C-alpha cells in the first residue's frame, strides 16, 4: 500500500496548539470524506398507469429508505419501446414540476420505454431531449459535462440529473436486482475485473487500452485480460467488459453483488426483441449494472463506458450511477440500467497503533486534504497539516501523532501530472 507521512515534530507542535482540553487516550479519526449520492438525493419516477412500475417503486423505496417526497408520479401508456419527442416533452414537464430542488439523480421504475426518438431515455431525462446528443451516421455527439467529473452533486454542478433504469423482464427480476444492489453496500468484495478481448475487430475497440488499465490498476484490484469470445466458469466476477453482438456463457459465471458488465455493440440497449443480445442478459446473469446503445452509435469508444474510469470511480466509493455515468463521454445514445445506489466499495478503515494513525480504503479519492485536530469529537477543530493524496494511494499513515480527534477535509483536486 502507498502511504504518506507528515513530519511528526511539526504535527505534534500544531496539535498541541489545537488541543486545549483532555484528549482521548489515542488518535481517533472522526471523518474522512468518501462522497457519494444518497437515497435522499435520488428521485424515483413511477408510471401510475403501470402496475409493475408502481410495485417496483414501492419495493425500491422500502429497501433503500427513499423519502416519500422523492417519488415522482407520471402517467403514460406502458409497454412500448419508444416515446416521440412530443410525448417525452409532456412527460419531462411533469417530472420537472414535481422534482424537489435537492434531487441530484433519477431512477426509472420500468424497462419500457427505453428510447426517446434518437436518444436513450436515461440520457433524455438527464439532459432533456436534445438532438445534439444524437447522430444519424457515424459521427461524434455532444459530450457530457459529467464525464470523469469530480462533482458530487451533478445537478448543482452541471444542471443534469444522471438517470438509471431499474430495468428487468419482470417485477420479480427487478426485486432481485434491487436486493443485489443493497447487498453490495460496503461489502468490499475480493473479486476480479475481467477484460475480454474478442475476435470481433469492430466491437473490440476498448481492448487497445486493456494493457495500460491492468498496469495502472493491478495493485489496487485484480485484473485479468482474457483472449476469448466469452468468459466461463469464473466465480468472482466484479467487472466484465467485452465487445460482441452476443456474449455466450454469462450464466456459467458468478457475479458478485454490485458487479458491472457490458458488451460494446450497436443495440444492447434494445432491451426486448432486438437482433443482438439485450443488456438485460447481464442483469439476468447476476450483474447489478449494465449499459447498451439504443440506436446505432458506431464503434466510438467514447460512446461506451471506459473501463478504467468505471473501475476507479467505483473503487473510490462512488455509487453505481455515478461511476457508470462518469465513464461515458458521449452518453446520448446509451441506456444505463441497474440499481443506482449500489456502493460495494464504501467505507474507510481507521487504525491507531503505536502512537500512529492510518486511514485506508480500497482506493482513496485523489486530492489535497487538510488534517484537522480537536480535543473532543465536537471540536473545535483546527488545521494541523495538509496532505496530498495521489492516484493509487490506498493508505495514509501518520506517525507518532499526539492523542486527539482527527478529521480530514478534501480541499481540491490534485495538480495534473506533467
Q: What does the block give as the cell for 13?
A: 507542535
Residues 391 and 219: beta-carbon distance below 8 Å = no
Report the CATH number of the 8-34+347-412 domain: 2.60.40
Q: What does the block give as the cell for 295?
A: 440506436
Q: Which has the higher per-residue pLDDT, 324 or 136?
A: 324
Give every strand in the sheet of 349-353, ordered side by side: 349-353, 356-360, 395-398
Cα–Cα dist 56/249, whole Å: 28
Q: Which long-range contacts (CB under 8 A, 24 or more apart) does 414-418 make?
A: 414/366, 414/367, 414/368, 414/388, 414/389, 414/390
Whether residue 380 has a cis bond before it, omega within 30° of 0:
yes
pTM score: 0.92
Cα–Cα dist 394/368, whole Å: 15
Say which residue the cell 438527464 belongs to: 126
Residues 129 and 91: beta-carbon distance below 8 Å = no
Q: Where are the domains of the chain?
A: 8-34+347-412, 39-338
pLDDT value of position 356: 87
3-state secondary structure of 119: strand
Residues 79 and 90: beta-carbon distance below 8 Å = no
Q: 32 pLDDT exceeds 50?
A: yes
3-state secondary structure of 192: strand
Axis-axis angle for helices 171-184, 51-64 (nearest 10): 20
Say which residue the cell 489545537 belongs to: 18
Kindly report the average pLDDT of the chain as a whole number: 93
383, 348, 397, 387: which is closest to 367 by C-alpha?
387
Binning pLDDT at 50, 70 and 90, where does residue 319 land? very high
Q: What is the pLDDT of residues 181-222, one digit of tens each?
A: 999 999 999 999 999 999 999 999 999 999 999 999 989 999
Q: 156 pLDDT exceeds 70?
A: yes
**In terms of DSSP bridges, do strands 289-293 and 334-338 run parallel, antiparallel, or are they unpaired?**
antiparallel
Paired residues of 329 in beta bridges: none
Say which residue the cell 501518520 belongs to: 398
Residue 239 CB: number of other CB atoms within 10 A?
26
Axis-axis angle for helices 307-315, 210-217 (nearest 10): 20
Cα–Cα dist 241/224, whole Å: 11
CA distances to 127, 221, 255, 394 from 191, rounded to whole Å, are: 34, 8, 9, 17
Residue 389 CB: number of other CB atoms within 10 A?
21
Q: What is the pLDDT of residues 91-146, one digit of tens each?
A: 999 999 999 999 999 999 999 999 999 999 999 999 999 999 999 889 999 999 99
Residues 167 and 294: beta-carbon distance below 8 Å = no
Q: Which has the higher per-residue pLDDT, 2 or 116?
A: 116
Cα–Cα dist 335/186, whole Å: 26
pLDDT value of position 136: 83
Amino acid at each position: 500500500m502507498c502511504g504518506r507521512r507528515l513530519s511528526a515534530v511539526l504535527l505534534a507542535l500544531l496539535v498541541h496548539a489545537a488541543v486545549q482540553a483532555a484528549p482521548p487516550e489515542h488518535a481517533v479519526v472522526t471523518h474522512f470524506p468518501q462522497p457519494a449520492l444518497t437515497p435522499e438525493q435520488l428521485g424515483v419516477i413511477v408510471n401510475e398507469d403501470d402496475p409493475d412500475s408502481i410495485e417496483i417503486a414501492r419495493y425500491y423505496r422500502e429497501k433503500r429508505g427513499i423519502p416519500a417526497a422523492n417519488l415522482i408520479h407520471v402517467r403514460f401508456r406502458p409497454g412500448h419501446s419508444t416515446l416521440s419527442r412530443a410525448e417525452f416533452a409532456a412527460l419531462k414537464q411533469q417530472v420537472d414540476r414535481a422534482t424537489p430542488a435537492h434531487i441530484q439523480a433519477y431512477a426509472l421504475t420500468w424497462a419500457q420505454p427505453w428510447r426517446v426518438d434518437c436518444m436513450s431515455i436515461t440520457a433524455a431525462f438527464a439532459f432533456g431531449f436534445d438532438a445534439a446528443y444524437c447522430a444519424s451516421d457515424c459521427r461524434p455527439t455532444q459530450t457530457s459535462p459529467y464525464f470523469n467529473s469530480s462533482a458530487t452533486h451533478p445537478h448543482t454542478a452541471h444542471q443534469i440529473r444522471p438517470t438509471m433504469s431499474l430495468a428487468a423482464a419482470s417485477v420479480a427480476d427487478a426485486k432481485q436486482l434491487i436486493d443485489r444492489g443493497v447487498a453490495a453496500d460496503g461489502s468490499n468484495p475480493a473479486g476480479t475485473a475481467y477484460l475480454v478481448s474478442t475476435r470481433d475487430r469492430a466491437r473490440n475497440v476498448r481492448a487497445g487500452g486493456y494493457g495500460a488499465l491492468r498496469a495502472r490498476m493491478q495493485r489496487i484490484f485484480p485484473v485479468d485480460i482474457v483472449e476469448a469470445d466469452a468468459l466461463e466458469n469464473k466465480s468472482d466476477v466484479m467487472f466484465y467488459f467485452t465487445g460482441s453482438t452476443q456474449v455466450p456463457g454469462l450464466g456459467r459465471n458468478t457475479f458478485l453483488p454490485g458487479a458491472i458488465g457490458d458488451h460494446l455493440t450497436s443495440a444492447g440497449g434494445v432491451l426486448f426483441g432486438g437482433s443482438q443480445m439485450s443488456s438485460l442478459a447481464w442483469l439476468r446473469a447476476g450483474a447489478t449494472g449494465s449499459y447498451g446503445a439504443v440506436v446505432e452509435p458506431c464503434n466510438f469508444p467514447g460512446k461506451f463506458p471506459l473501463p478504467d474510469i468505471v473501475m476507479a470511480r467505483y473503487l473510490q466509493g462512488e455509487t453505481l450511477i455515478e461511476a457508470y455515468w462518469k465513464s461515458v463521454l458521449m452518453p446520448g445514445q446509451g441506456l444505463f440500467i441497474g440499481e443506482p445506489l449500489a456502493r460495494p466499495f464504501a467505507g474507510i478503515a481507521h487504525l491507531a497503533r503505536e502512537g500512529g494513525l492510518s486511514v485506508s480504503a480500497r482506493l482513496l479519492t485523489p486530492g489535497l486534504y487538510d488534517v484537522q485536530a480537536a480535543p473532543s469529537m465536537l471540536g473545535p477543530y483546527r488545521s494541523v497539516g495538509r496532505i496530498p493524496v495521489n492516484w493509487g494511494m490506498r493508505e495514509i499513515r501518520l506517525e507518532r501523532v499526539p492523542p486527539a480527534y482527527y478529521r480530514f477535509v478534501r480541499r481540491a483536486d490534485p495538480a495534473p501530472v506533467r
